[in-house]
């Protein structure tokens, strides 16, 4: 029987009729309900806890004021970190520093003449993997004031007019593509032409694989330019900062008359995991750190960032034959 008292159609079995009756919401008084409806106050069931935005306690910690040091875990005041050239005052951990900030810490005020500033990379291979090279470049260009992973130019460091190239890891991991290679080569060639020493401060994950063979060719190009610079008996100082690896390490970064490094910088060619898998040997403690490589003679000195400028001046004095203490320019107030 259904609500309207009509006879069910002949194709529907009796059970189906019963189900139909129940779904309409009617209760057959002769048929006991399988589940007794709750007798208690139904409101207790219906009331649900509110999930909407409630009263939340706001944490009034302004962003961008403090940075946690990854080494000693101290919260460092950002202003203090900037004043200290991005070095933790507690444990001397060297945080990454941008290329422009580093140049500012080394050259005399307003003495830096940037070269090839507008030069930008081109996606010559139409490279696409997880993201296209074109998109990666666009994202990195939007990020800040860098057109690529190196800034080059000529500046005054103490009494020395010097060709200076500074890499920036924040642009595509400081990778060396055609632009990095070309800018550095032009810097070295210009310095050779003007009889200037060259300082290159590296920070790089290696050759930029988005540019395939073109990035690898930069290794030979920069090395050849440095060979002409050396033939002119002009000094080249290479400074390795965290991290300096792969194609950059295997080319201009290790061709310095003096090779310096910042404390605890990771320096190497392939990553430790690759070396371990290839050699099937346990790697010694401190492998690929500046300190490890100083012990084994690959690098000549470890120089803390705050001392870098004065040490570079001292080395240039020595290499250019300038008498000790013969500085003429006012040291830059860092
Ligand atoms: Zn620290």
> In this predicted model, what pLDDT tens digit does every residue of 190-212 receive, in sequence order?
999 999 999 999 999 999 999 99
**Cα atoms in the Cβ-side hemisphere of radius 13 Å centred on 62:** 4
Distance from Cα 77 to the centre of ligand 1, integer Å: 11
Predicted confidence band at 129 (pLDDT cuts at 50, 70, 90)? confident
- Per-residue model confidence (pLDDT) at position 63: 64
Centre of ligand 1 from the C-alpha of residue 243, in Å: 18
What's the gap in Å between 305 CA and the centre of ligand 1? 15
Query: What is the structure's pLDDT at 56?
Result: 52
What is residue 272's predicted lDDT score, i.e. its pLDDT? 84
- pLDDT tens for 72-90 read 999 999 999 999 999 999 9
Distance 97 CA to ligand 1 centre (A): 15
Give me ligand 1 centre to Cα 85, in Å. 13
| Ion ligand 1: protein residues whose beta carbon lies under 5 Å | 69, 71-72, 88, 90-91, 93
What is the pLDDT, as a whole number, of residue 53? 55
Check pLDDT > 90 for residue 46. no
Beta-bridged to residue 244, according to DSSP, are 204, 267
Residue 121: CB partners within 8 Å, gap ≥ 6? 137, 148, 177, 178, 179, 208, 211
What does the pLDDT look like over 244-296, one tens digit per residue? 999 999 999 999 999 999 999 999 998 888 888 999 999 888 889 999 999 99
Taking the centre of ligand 1 as the mean of its atom positions, its distance from the CA of residue 91, in whole angstroms, is: 4
Cβ-count burial 41-56 (b if 16+ within 10 Å, e if not): eeeeeeeeeeeeeeee
| CA nearest neighbour of 226 among 249, 253, 203, 206 | 253
C-alpha span between 304 and 288 (Å, rounded)? 18
Taking the centre of ligand 1 as the mean of its atom positions, its distance from the CA of residue 125, in whole angstroms, is: 43
Percent of all residues in the chain with a pLDDT value above 70, rounded to a whole number: 77
Q: Report how far ligand 1's centroid is from the alpha carbon of 93 (Å).
A: 5
pLDDT at residue 144, rounded to an integer = 77
pTM: 0.77
């Amino acid at each position: 029987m259904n609500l309207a008292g009509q006879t069910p159609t002949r194709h529907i079995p009796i059970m189906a009729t019963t189900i139909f009756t129940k779904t309409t919401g009617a209760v057959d008084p002769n048929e006991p309900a399988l589940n007794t409806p709750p007798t208690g106050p139904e409101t207790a069931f219906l009331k649900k806890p509110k999930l909407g935005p409630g009263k939340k306690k706001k944490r009034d910690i302004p962003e961008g004021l403090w940075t946690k040091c990854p080494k000693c875990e101290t919260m460092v005041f950002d202003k203090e970190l900037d004043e200290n050239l991005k070095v933790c005052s507690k444990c001397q951990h060297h945080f990454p520093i941008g290329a422009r900030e580093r140049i500012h810490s080394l050259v005399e005020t307003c003495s830096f003449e940037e070269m090839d500033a507008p030069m930008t990379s081109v996606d010559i291979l139409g490279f696409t993997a997880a993201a296209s090279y074109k998109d990666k470049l666009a994202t990195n260009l939007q990020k800040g004031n860098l057109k690529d992973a190196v800034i080059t130019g000529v500046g005054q460091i103490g009494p020395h007019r010097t060709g200076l190239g500074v890499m920036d890891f924040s642009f595509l991991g400081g990778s060396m593509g055609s632009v990095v290679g070309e800018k550095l080569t032009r810097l070295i060639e210009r310095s050779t032409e003007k009889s200037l020493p060259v300082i290159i401060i590296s920070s790089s994950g290696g050759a930029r694989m988005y540019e395939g063979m073109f990035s690898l060719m930069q290794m030979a190009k920069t090395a050849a330019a440095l060979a002409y610079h050396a033939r002119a008996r002009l000094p080249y100082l290479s400074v390795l900062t965290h991290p300096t690896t792969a194609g950059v390490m295997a080319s201009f970064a290790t061709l310095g008359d003096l090779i310096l490094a910042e404390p605890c910088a990771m320096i190497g060619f392939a990553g430790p995991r690759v070396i371990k898998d290839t050699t099937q040997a346990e790697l010694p403690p401190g492998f690929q750190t500046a300190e490890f490589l100083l012990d084994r003679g690959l690098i000549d000195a470890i120089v803390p960032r705050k001392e870098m400028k004065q040490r570079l001046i001292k080395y240039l004095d020595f290499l250019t034959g300038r008498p000790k203490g013969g500085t003429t320019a006012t040291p830059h107030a860092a």
